[in-house]
Structure 1
Amino acid sequence: MTAASDSNDPQVPIVCPECETTSRVPLAEVADLIERHNEQLHGGGDVAAVDPDIADRIADLAAADLGLLEESE
């Protein structure tokens, strides 16, 4: 995977367990870079992805922001 290093975008960690690689890519390019990596190196399979710990944390933050984690009274 390649990453632009001169961007002001937040950097998102991407992992590919099959290639045994980890890189950080600009947030705005995450989807395209993952798709391109998986298409070129893994026949389109969902191998490379956002680091699972980061993806889980983002999901938790989104759920909290949407009020999905609040207990009903």
Structure 2
Amino acid sequence: MFPEAEELYRVNGDLESMTDDVPKIPIVCPVCETRAKIPFSNVEETVTDHNERLHDGDPVAAVDPDVFDHLADQVAVDLGLLEG
């Protein structure tokens, strides 16, 4: 499980944040069957640490693919890469 998940509680099979004072990014680990919302500033470190501790460094846990795709689309729009 993700260390930051200690501050989270389980709702309908998902871990949800008890506070919404900072932006949180959904992280998933299909092998551990866990989901957590991690503060944006901690995402890279948290995912790396999780994968190092539990998966021998293999890139198993990651930002939720749906969220990642949405963010990538937004960045592409902002950069003007989807125009034309």
- Answer yes or no: same fold by TM over 0.5: yes
Aligned sequence identity (%): 49
CA RMSD, aligned part only?
A: 1.4
Question: How many equivalent pairs are there?
Answer: 71
Q: Counterpart in 1 of 2:29?
A: 16
Q: Is the 8 A contact 1:2 1:23 kept in 2?
A: no
Q: Counterpart in 2 of 1:63?
A: 76
Please state how far the C-alpha of 1:2 moved relative to its aligned partner: 2.3
Question: How far, CA to CA, are the matches of 2:45 and 2:71 in structure 1?
Answer: 19
Q: Is the 8 A contact 1:11 1:25 kept in 2?
A: yes
Please state how far the C-alpha of 1:7 moved relative to its aligned partner: 7.5
- Three-state SS of the structure 1 residue aligned to 2:3 is coil
- Three-state SS of the structure 2 residue aligned to 1:18 is coil
**Structure 1: runs of 5+ lacking an equivalent:** none
Q: Which has the higher contact order (CA 8 A, sep 6+)?
A: 1
TM-score (norm 1): 0.90
**Structure 2: runs of 5+ lacking an equivalent:** 8-16
